[in-house]
């Protein structure tokens, strides 16, 4: 066991920290610490340019194998990369769905041709992706998807029809990966396909959903005989591939998240010191608990990542989401309680929220998206502990 980084890794840290110091400046100064979860509606154009700046420096897709344009970084180096990125206030990455989800899935399940077609756009920051999973009737029960995929002999392509929902940044995306039903007779997780769909076609319509923050990061996406550019794997493998992708979500990208959380906690502590809330016993206790929770999160993540590197859904990974989501939601509440009655006051009409107010409101959804706390606990109990499954209807 070794909990510190060796000299070579520390040199790498210096390298990335230096690059960020030189590049996350000038025109990009305003987007430092911006554009992360809950703030994704901000600085879209600037962050797209930043993504390309990162690509030019060779800092996108660092965990990918070198043959696909990555750096093939070790786990330690990826940890260091994400830490330094967050420490420097690197903005939320517009390419994160491509880099973290679509890309690794295409690498795992795609043909050589598909890899050549899609990976460069992600790696170069020129093509952005969104996720077409949830539907109005398929939230926690994702297997209930109804979006259809029919093979059109005339056009020699699969056609997608249906509706996806909660699609982050669909309005900014070039591609969408879509789980759709290829076998009309099938039920639940059988008979599904994993499709890659171009967003820029007449059969695709994006409608924004307004959140309780007053902003729209999520969308409804309507597919009306939209052409799928590709299917990954075979018809019938959609569930397997779709679930494998979710396994990547619990991987290395979470490391930067903890650093970003540390930034948030630090901001709250600084505020508590300034406004005297840090003298209140209740607040002091909760700050201590937040600090402890964050350390636990980091150690668990490092333990998780030191294990075999794959996209499988093992219980350590499942516990992780439940923990960070609950922790982050508590952090949002702590921020508001530190602010006290000032916490309700808007910066500006019509509905401009401060960063801590956005944090509070956004974190109300942490325990819901990406698998609710209730579903997480069921999975932990059923798959992790082997307990009897909850009866379905």
Partner 1 sequence: MNFTFNEDQLMFRDSVRDFFSNEVTTESIRNRWDSDSGRDRALWTSMAELGLTGLLVPENCGGLGLGVVDFIMLAEECGRVALPEPLVDTVLLATPVLVAAGADAQLLQSIAAGETVCAVQSQADALVADADFADKLIVHKAGNLVLLDAESARFQRQDSVDPSRRLFSVEWADDEGQVLAEGDLSAELTASLYNLGALGTSAQLLGLAQRMLDLSVAYTSERQQFGKPIGSFQAVKHHLANVAIKTEFAKAPVYRAAYSVAEALSDVDLHVSQARLSAGEAAILAAKSGIQVHGAMGYTWEMDLHLFMKRAWALNNAWGTPGAHKARLADTILSADYTIGAGHTFASASDAA
Q: Using the minimum distance from each CB to partner 1, give the nearer residue, 48 or 189.
A: 189
Judged on CB neighbours under 10 Å (0-12, 13-18, 19+), 220 is: middle
Does the protein bind partner 1 through residue 361 (CB under 8 A)?
yes
Stretch that binds partner 1, among 39-47, 263-271, 300-308, 359-367 (CB under 8 A): 359-367
- Asked whether 322 and 375 are in contact (CB, 8 A), the reply is no
- Please, what is the minimum distance in Å from the beta carbon of residue 195 to partner 1? 23
Does the protein bind partner 1 through residue 336 (CB under 8 A)?
yes
Q: Using the minimum distance from each CB to partner 1, give the nearer residue, 3 or 212.
A: 212
Name the residues annotated as catalytic: 249
User: Which of 34, 48, 190, 364 is close enough to bind partner 1 by CB under 8 A?
Assistant: 364
User: Which of 157, 304, 313, 368 is close enough to bind partner 1 by CB under 8 A?
Assistant: 368
User: Which of 44, 69, 214, 311 is close enough to bind partner 1 by CB under 8 A?
Assistant: 214
H/E/C letters for each residue in 90-116?
CCCCCCHHHHHHHHHHHHHHCCHHHHH
What are the b/e assignments for 173-208, b being 16+ CB within 10 Å?
Answer: bebbbbbbbbeeeeeebebbbbbbbbbeeeebebee
User: Which of 28, 118, 166, 327 is close enough to bind partner 1 by CB under 8 A?
Assistant: 166
Nearest alpha-carbon partner for 215 in 43, 32, 342: 43
CA distances from 68 to 40, 124, 130, 175 (A): 27, 11, 20, 19
Q: Using the minimum distance from each CB to partner 1, give the nearer residue, 284 or 291.
A: 284
DSSP codes, 13-28: HHHHHHHHHHHSSGGG
Does the protein bind partner 1 through residue 186 (CB under 8 A)?
no
Binding residue count for partner 1, defined by CB under 8 A = 44
Q: Using the minimum distance from each CB to partner 1, give the nearer residue, 88 or 359.
A: 359
The Cα 161–Cα 220 span in angstroms is 13
Could you tell me the two tokens for 158?
Answer: 């699969």
Place of tokens 């309680």: 337
Give the footprint of partner 1 on this chain (CB under 8 A): 134, 137, 139-141, 144, 165-166, 209-212, 214, 280, 282-283, 336-337, 340-341, 343-346, 348-351, 353, 357, 361, 364-365, 367-369, 372-374, 377-378, 390, 392-393
């Amino acid at each position: 066991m070794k909990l510190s980084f060796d000299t070579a890794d520390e040199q790498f840290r210096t390298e990335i920290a230096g690059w960020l110091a030189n590049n996350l400046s000038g025109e990009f100064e305003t987007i430092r610490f911006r554009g992360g979860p809950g703030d994704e509606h901000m600085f879209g154009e600037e962050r797209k340019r930043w993504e390309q700046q990162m690509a030019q420096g060779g800092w996108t897709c660092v965990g990918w194998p070198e043959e696909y344009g990555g750096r093939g970084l070790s786990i330690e180096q990826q940890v260091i990369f994400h830490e330094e990125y967050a420490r420097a206030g690197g903005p939320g990455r517009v390419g994160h769905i491509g880099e973290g989800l679509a890309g690794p899935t295409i690498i795992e399940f795609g043909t050589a041709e598909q890899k050549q077609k899609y990976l460069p756009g992600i790696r170069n920051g020129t093509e952005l992706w969104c996720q077409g999973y949830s539907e109005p009737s398929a939230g926690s029960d994702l297997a209930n998807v109804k979006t259809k995929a029919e093979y059109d002999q005339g056009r020699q392509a699969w056609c997608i029809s249906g509706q996806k929902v909660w699609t982050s940044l669909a309005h900014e995306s070039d591609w969408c990966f879509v789980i759709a039903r290829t076998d009309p007779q099938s039920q639940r997780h059988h008979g599904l396909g994993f499709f890659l769909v171009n967003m820029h076609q007449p059969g695709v319509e994006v409608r924004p959903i307004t959140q309780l923050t007053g902003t729209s990061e999520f969308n409804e996406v309507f597919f009306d005989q939209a052409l799928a550019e590709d299917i990954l794997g075979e018809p019938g493998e959609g569930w397997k591939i779709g679930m494998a992708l979710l396994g990547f979500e619990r991987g290395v990208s979470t490391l930067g998240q903890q650093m970003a959380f540390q930034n948030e906690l630090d901001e709250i502590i600084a505020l508590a010191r300034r406004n005297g809330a840090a003298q209140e016993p209740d607040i002091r206790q909760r700050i201590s608990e937040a600090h402890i929770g964050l350390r636990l999160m980091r150690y668990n993540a490092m333990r998780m990542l030191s294990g075999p590197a794959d996209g499988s859904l093992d219980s350590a990974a499942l516990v992780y989401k439940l923990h960070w989501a609950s922790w982050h939601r508590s952090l949002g509440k702590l921020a508001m309680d530190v602010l006290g009655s000032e916490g309700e006051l808007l910066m500006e009409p019509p509905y401009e929220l401060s960063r801590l107010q956005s944090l509070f409101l956004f974190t109300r959804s942490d325990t819901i998206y990406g698998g609710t706390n209730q579903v997480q606990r069921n999975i932990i109990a059923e798959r992790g502990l082997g307990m009897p499954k909850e009866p379905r209807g």
